[in-house]
A and B are shown apart, each in its own frame.
Chain A
Amino acid sequence: MQIPAPFDYERASDVANALALLERHGPESRIIAGGHSLLPMMKLRLARPEWLIDINDLAELEFIRREGDQLRVGALTRHTALLESTDVAGLFPIIRDAEQVIADPVVRNRGTIGGSLCQADPAEDLSTVCDVLRAQAVIRGPDGERIVAMSDFHRGPYETAVAQNELLYEIRFTIRPRSGSAYEKVERRVGDWAIVAAGAAVGLSEDGTVEEAAIGLTAVGLDGTVPEAEAVLRGQQPHEDLFVEAARIAAAACHPVDDQRGPVDYKRHLADELTRRVLRRACARAAGAQEG
């Protein structure tokens, strides 16, 4: 029963209307999607928007669609929908891995992929997932639509390429043959934010060598993926020694901080341990030995 500061509220009828409302109410207006990041901050009075623009009626923003070599996911797609989608599970098992360990069913029923990415919490799981899958963000604003690569989307903790008068519209994932991906998180309790999590995606060539690799880490102050670690794998047959080497590089590249979840050395150890685990699993999945 924590109580937010006073605010006003409007419900958008479509995307154009949402953008118009953002324009009308100015810098102190905020989009509200699932509300599972914004409302807790408002209740603690850490966030004090004067206007909330509710986009929950915008069915046009809630979709998971396969089109050509892309999977397109609307920004208002709920965590639960991602978790339950067979397309997602088949094409990008990393998303399902991550969704299984994001919060709890109550939060997942409301929370959205758009809200997660726009919140850009350093411990947020889907940001790492999207980085690793080298996703693209489709952003709509008063001047129309623009497409931003994940590497440009993130601008540091709690900051993204989405301007105050813009809306994240959809996320696009490119479907590649012979690919596999995985995510693993260590948490103090189910539903807690990550102490550390790691994600990896690989694409194999026909002869089974690694063509494309991406490695990401959550909650350890890493910007984007780890190119030096990915380079170790590229052009090689997947092998435990390479996983060990790539994990070592990834662990060295991150910047964990000491907090209630654990000290720096433990987090670095987890970055190493989890990177090895997800590389193993991603490669096995890519080689067609997909688990359940």
Chain B
Amino acid sequence: MTTTQEHAPNPAAGDPGRPIGFGRLQRKEDPRFVRGKGTYIDDIVLPGMLHGAILRAPVAHARLVSIDTTEALAHPKVLAVITGKDLQALNLAWAPTLSADVQAVLVTDKVRFQGQEVAFAVAEDRYAARDALELIDVEYDMLPPVIDARRALDPGAPVIRDDVEGRTDNRIFDWEIGDAAETEAVFATADVVVAQEVVYPRVHPAPMETCGAVADFDPIDGRLTLYETTQAPHAHRTLYAIVAGIPEHKIRIVSPDIGGGFGNKVGIYPGYVLAVVGSIVTGKPVKWVEDRSENLMSTSFARDYIMQGEIAATKEGKILAVRTNVLADHGAFNATAQPTKNPAGFFSIFTGSYDLQAAYCKVTGVYTNKAPGGVAYACSFRVTEAVYLVERMVDILARKLDMDPAELRLKNFIKPEQFPYANKTGWVYDSGNYEPAMRLSMQMAGYEDLRREQLEKRERGELMGIGVSFFTETVGAGPRKHFDIVGLGMADGAELRVHPTGKAVVRISVQSQGQGHETTFAQIVAEELGIPPESIDVVHGDTDQTPFGLGTYGSRSTPVSGGAVALVARKVRDKARFIAAAMLETRPEDLEWEKGRWFVKGDPSAGKTIAEIAFGAHGTVALPEGIDGNLDAEVTYDPPNLTFPFGAYICVVDVDAGTGHVKVRRFIAVDDCGTRINPMIIEGQVHGGLTDGVGMALMEIIAFDEEGNCLSSSFMDYLIPTAMEVPDWETGFTVTPSPHHPIGAKGIGESATVGSPPAIVNAIVDALAPYGVTHMDMPCTPARVWEAMQGRARPPV
């Protein structure tokens, strides 16, 4: 089923504009945010708290000769200066990453990227901590750095990871998927083959709030309370238990309000571990909050994929196969957050929304002397890179065939009757109905009129471009049998308690970084139990208060935790039936459910609301055998498959032919995320993601010079878009529910970040067609656009 209608307001609600369950609803968390009453990491102040600061390496590759901390320790306000040597003694100098590698917490042997952690000063205030860093004397012995990923595997390239026994080169992994021979056979006989190198440069999530932690180790009972900017508090707790040897039941991780994550706050950073060590060493709480430069230079970046793409088709425009060879720059440590069996994340979704005969890809991951990370920025586990590749390739093919890019896509979509659709790289797309979404976006855009306008403009020498992209994502991992992170299955828990007066608390394992969980999850419970969302509190972000689960990233909160919450509410509803039957002195089978109440079949006046049943459960009614006196339940949800949101985006740009400056004039986004819980939150997610897309397409890149100096270490150089660069977003939707998800929802957190860059770049390349441009890489800055117009488009790395 696909509809373009929004969920009808629930007639049971007093105010038809304010539905009980799904529908538009103002966010419950916003009153505290808009009044400045959120509690972010830097708002946390504990009695006697000290402040830590990290000394970072000024160079990219150098042997550490010596560190002298004498002067720093003599500073009257400094309590401790911790070095790699001190950590070695505690067996904490290296910590496991999320990708079966290790990462230095503090440098012991050599520096491997500029900005790497060298020493940690703990002082009475953050000013003194910073001043202390200048008093630490470090001697380095410079080594030649490996900056260009294309050179990383050269024979004789310096070996970055000589800490690993037996390592003789910079290769991290080779990974392939699809059938190489079958794909080659299709390519060999195809009418048309086009090839293009497509680079997705290194970008950064740049959340408004940088990363930080407050560690409070209680030496008496050995208990660690750690406030952290984390998207995955439970996974962190387990990892700290394993790494630091603190028993897991003595660790409490609190993730307070988070000022943006985008994957940047999934991993465990050295700073967090250092705050813990600082607290253990000084016996006092220690706060560490990084500054903007530290965030941009050292924390998890995104992308950095150099993709050789090939696409094969018939001359009539039937796409037959896609093939790609990828060089993935992972930086100095392999610290990408991704499921264990997927070293290139979910890049294998590069087959896109098309019915192909064959597909194959090979990904080679390499070390370079750059900051580690890799899957972040609406991480989507590399879906972003995959969609960008296939959507650029389809556009290049359209140009080659002289076909309209929208028509070419319409011709090749997987048909609705083919779902569930098994693609050539092992995914089973749960549901989809692509053509209506594509047609709706074209209708909203006035596609034919735009093409006419473009023709007229071209005759006058004006550059206008229209870009189309159509994406399919794979989000919401598990199932746990296929997907784990460091051995932890990707499932999520939920606990629901209905208090005697019918007010409820739902506890979830995922943590919001701005997605509106406190509203969305309350609405899911409201829809299932028929009590208003205002009567439901959502508790999250505290491991002592919530059930275990893997956290918020890869658009998994609604697909996984959303499923958990719906199921736990159904469990409560089922239990309520038994209690209501006892209260009504009838049999459960004789009761019927309507939103909010169980009533006797055929006698609607005899019924009990959830509130009455909750009171009954805690009251004096004699309960049936096996039913305890409460209205609580818990579940752990292991999704049977991932979900596959999709969307059709159209972008219109104007390019100043004299300066190369690009103006995004219009952007039409039609999204299908299955069942829509709160359309207002969905639109917010889409607006944010589209803005991200404009940033990446036009201006964002973490660049390095040949020595490995990071050239994008502040917002002066790492540009993020403002309201001035973005148009009024025109959003639309279709609804194709997921058949396996308890409420049919698919996830929307990353759709727009995934889908918008190719639409924008396709529009720019389209605008530059009169200059013979068929491809250019991001970021499409004025200078780079001008170079493309001169026939000198060059890759950003």
Q: Which residues of A contact B (CB under 8 A)?
A: 1-3, 5-6, 44-45, 104, 186, 188-193, 195, 260-263, 266-267, 269-270, 273-274, 277
Contact = CB atoms under 8 A, between A and B. Distances in A.
B719 A192 contact: yes
Contact of B783 (A1, A44, A195): A195
- Size bracket, chain B contacts: 20 to 34
Q: Which A-B residue pairs are the 10 nearest by beta carbons?
A: A262-B783, A190-B724, A3-B130, A273-B658, A266-B783, A189-B719, A2-B291, A186-B659, A1-B291, A266-B786
B289 A1 contact: yes
B703 interface: yes
B661 A186 contact: yes
A270 B786 CA distance: 10
A189 B661 contact: no
Given A1-B289, A260-B703, A266-B786, A6 B725 contact: no
B659 A104 contact: no
B248 interface: no
A273 B789 CA distance: 15
Interface string B38-69: 00001000000000000000000000000000
Interface of B: 42, 126-127, 130-131, 134, 210, 289, 291-293, 658-661, 698-699, 703, 711-712, 714, 716-717, 719, 721-722, 724-725, 781-783, 786-787
Contact of B725 (A3, A44, A190, A260): A190
Contacts of B787: 263, 266
Given A186-B661, A190-B724, A260 B717 contact: yes
B517 to A, nearest CB: 27
A286 to B, nearest CB: 22
5 contacts: A186-B659, A189-B719, A191-B724, A195-B783, A261-B783
Contact of A2 (B292, B724, B725, B786): B292
A9 B711 CA distance: 33
B781 A3 contact: no
A251 B161 CA distance: 48
Given A1-B210, A3-B126, A260-B711, A188 B699 contact: yes
A132 B641 CA distance: 66
Nearest to B53: A3
Nearest to B658: A273
Nearest to A196: B659
A262 B781 contact: yes
Given A270-B659, A273-B658, A188 B782 contact: yes
Contacts of A273: 658-659
Nearest to A273: B658
Contacts of B210: 1
A47 to B, nearest CB: 15
Contacts of B719: 188-189, 192
A190 B722 contact: yes
Given A1-B291, A3-B126, A3-B127, A189 B721 contact: yes
A261 B719 CA distance: 11
Given A260-B717, A261-B783, A262-B783, A104 B291 contact: no
Give the most central of A191, A192, A260, A277: most B CB within 10 Å: A260
B423 to A, nearest CB: 38
A192 B698 CA distance: 13
A279 B133 CA distance: 52
Given A1-B291, A189-B699, A6 B782 contact: no
A1 B42 CA distance: 10
A277 B699 CA distance: 25
Contacts of B130: 3
Given A186-B661, A262-B781, A2 B722 contact: no
Contacts of A188: 698-699, 719, 781-782
Given A5-B134, A190-B724, A260-B711, 13 more contacts: A1-B42, A1-B292, A2-B292, A6-B127, A44-B293, A186-B661, A188-B719, A191-B724, A195-B783, A261-B783, A273-B658, A273-B659, A277-B658
Contacts of A262: 781-783, 786
A5 B661 CA distance: 39
A263 B783 contact: yes
Give the most central of B127, B658, B721: most A CB within 10 Å: B658
Nearest to A104: B722
Contacts of B714: 44
B725 A5 contact: no
Nearest to A186: B659
Contacts of B725: 189-190
Contacts of B289: 1
A104 B724 CA distance: 10
A191 B711 contact: no
B782 A195 contact: yes
Contacts of B293: 2, 44
B77 to A, nearest CB: 11
A270 B291 CA distance: 35
Contacts of A269: 786
A196 to B, nearest CB: 9
Given A2-B293, A6-B131, A186-B659, A191 B783 contact: no
